[in-house]
């Protein structure tokens, strides 16, 4: 009896001493939330036409978006709904069209970080329907966790994208992370201003993404997002791209190409 109790105590002591994985850490077996990959057109068509079964308020977000739920068994369970007509709100320019344009630019650049967004009408009002991501965590939730090697590259890609579209509103509330450590960018209603300033400081550059950005011209952008961006917005985007090129060139001159283009 004494030997049995002693063995149990020894087992519990060893178990306590073993390193425990953080309870909040994503497991390698978790699936990506990028369910639309290779099926963009299918998801776009669904978001444009799926009947809305009910609406619910979203407690976070200064623009007060709602969550539109679709009937069970469909391609997607729900979407964020932003009927933001172009105009100034609380000192900021807001437009649902910027949400759609950000997604279309993401597709054009093969970025894969902006969830599917379409323009549609609900109850007669035009707006942006944004695919609701399932199984994701907030920026705050993942900050204490050990990041994979791909994390730095994703942050660099995010900064390049925000500079290109002139997004002044990137914050921890509009960054989401899935169990496979894919980073997602949401909330772009304040992007695509005529302001040619670069909101993000560039330190590293994803070579493949930058090559695609360098190749952009007015014709390509107009074909992809001209329905949601006017000519002035497109010209400002290209001016920011040229300013990014000058910034990157200066970084390369100072630190060497190998230190700047690290992927």
Task: Look at residue 30 in the predicted model and tell me its pLDDT.
Answer: 62
Pick from 96, 118, 93, 97: which is nearest to 107 by CA? 118
Residues sharing a CB contact under 8 Å with residue 30, sequence separation 6 or more, in sequence order = 135, 178, 179, 180
Task: Look at residue 2 in the predicted model and tell me its pLDDT.
Answer: 34
Q: How far is CA 234 from CA 36, 144, 226, 259, in A?
A: 27, 39, 8, 31
Whether residue 5 has pLDDT greater than 80: no
Q: How far is CA 237 from CA 167, 187, 257, in A?
A: 11, 18, 25
What's the pLDDT tens digit per position in 205-219?
999 999 999 999 999
For a pLDDT cut of 70, what percent of the chain falls above it?
87
Residues sharing a CB contact under 8 Å with residue 2, sequence separation 6 or more, in sequence order = none
Q: Which two tokens stand for residue 82?
A: 């932003």
3-state secondary structure of 83: coil
Q: How confident is residue 35, by pLDDT bands cut at 50, 70 and 90?
A: very high
User: What is the rounded CA–CA span in Å between residue 67 and residue 129?
Assistant: 9
Q: In 30-169, which ranges are E strands?
A: 52-57, 66-70, 78-82, 87-89, 92-94, 117-122, 125-131, 136-138
User: What is the rounded CA–CA span in Å between residue 251 and residue 156?
Assistant: 14
Pick from 193, 232, 199, 191: which is nearest to 63 by CA? 191
What's the pLDDT tens digit per position in 137-193?
999 999 999 999 999 999 999 999 999 999 999 999 999 999 999 999 999 999 999
Q: How far is CA 172 from CA 61, 79, 175, 238, in A?
A: 12, 20, 6, 27
Mean pLDDT of 35-55: 97
Q: How far is CA 50 from CA 58, 99, 101, 163, 233, in A?
A: 20, 19, 21, 34, 31
The better pLDDT of the pair 194, 9 is held by: 194
User: What is the rounded CA–CA span in Å between residue 157 and residue 111?
Assistant: 8
Residue 86, sorted as left (phi over 0), alpha (psi -120 to 50) or beta, turns out to be beta
């Amino acid at each position: 009896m004494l030997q049995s109790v002693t063995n149990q105590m020894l087992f519990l002591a060893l178990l306590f001493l073993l390193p425990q994985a953080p309870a909040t850490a994503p497991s390698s077996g978790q699936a990506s939330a990028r369910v639309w990959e290779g099926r963009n057109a299918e998801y776009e068509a669904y978001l444009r036409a799926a009947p809305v079964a009910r609406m619910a308020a979203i407690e976070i977000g200064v623009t007060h978006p709602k969550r539109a739920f679709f009937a069970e068994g469909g391609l997607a369970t729900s979407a964020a709904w932003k009927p933001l007509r172009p105009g100034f709100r609380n000192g900021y320019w807001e437009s649902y069209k910027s949400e759609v344009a950000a997604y279309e630019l993401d597709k054009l650049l093969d970025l894969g970080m902006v969830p599917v967004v379409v323009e549609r009408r609900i109850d007669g009002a035009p707006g942006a329907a944004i695919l609701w991501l399932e199984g994701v965590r907030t920026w705050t939730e993942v900050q204490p966790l050990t990041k994979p090697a791909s994390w730095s590259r994703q942050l660099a890609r995010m900064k390049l994208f925000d500079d290109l579209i002139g997004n002044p509103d990137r914050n921890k509330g509009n960054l989401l992370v899935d169990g496979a450590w894919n980073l997602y960018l949401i909330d772009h209603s304040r992007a695509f201003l005529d302001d040619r300033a670069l909101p993000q400081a560039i330190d590293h550059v994803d070579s493949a993404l930058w090559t695609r950005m360098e190749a952009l011209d007015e014709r390509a952008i107009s074909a992809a997002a001209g329905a949601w961006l006017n000519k002035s917005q497109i010209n400002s985007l290209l001016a920011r791209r040229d300013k990014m090129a000058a910034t990157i060139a200066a970084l390369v001159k100072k630190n060497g190409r190998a230190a700047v283009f690290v992927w």
